[in-house]
Amino acid sequence: MIGRLAHYAFDAVLVSTLLAGVRRSSGFIVETEKISDPTFRSVADKYLGVGETVFDMVQGTVVNSSYFKRDSRR
């Protein structure tokens, strides 16, 4: 039971991180303002904020890693 819950939590963070990457690379965002219920809107904003935080941590790790280099074509 706990393993399944951890798996779902990990998947949720992964999707949130993916949405953060889409936001950073393309500029498209999830419009949480269209959610009418303030509680659900707040939860959605916090959920997307987790993805932003994870994305920032991964990006910081990659920038400081010798295993990655910037693509010269960009």
Tens-digit pLDDT profile for the chain (74 aa)? 888 999 999 999 999 999 999 999 999 999 999 999 999 999 999 999 999 999 999 999 999 999 998 888 86
**How many CB atoms neighbour CB 17 within 10 A?**
20
User: Can you give the pTM of this predicted structure?
Assistant: 0.82
Which residue ranges make up each domain of the chain? 2-63
Which among 51, 59, 60, 53 is positioned nearest to 30, based on CA atoms?
Answer: 51
For residue 2, the model assigns a pLDDT of: 87
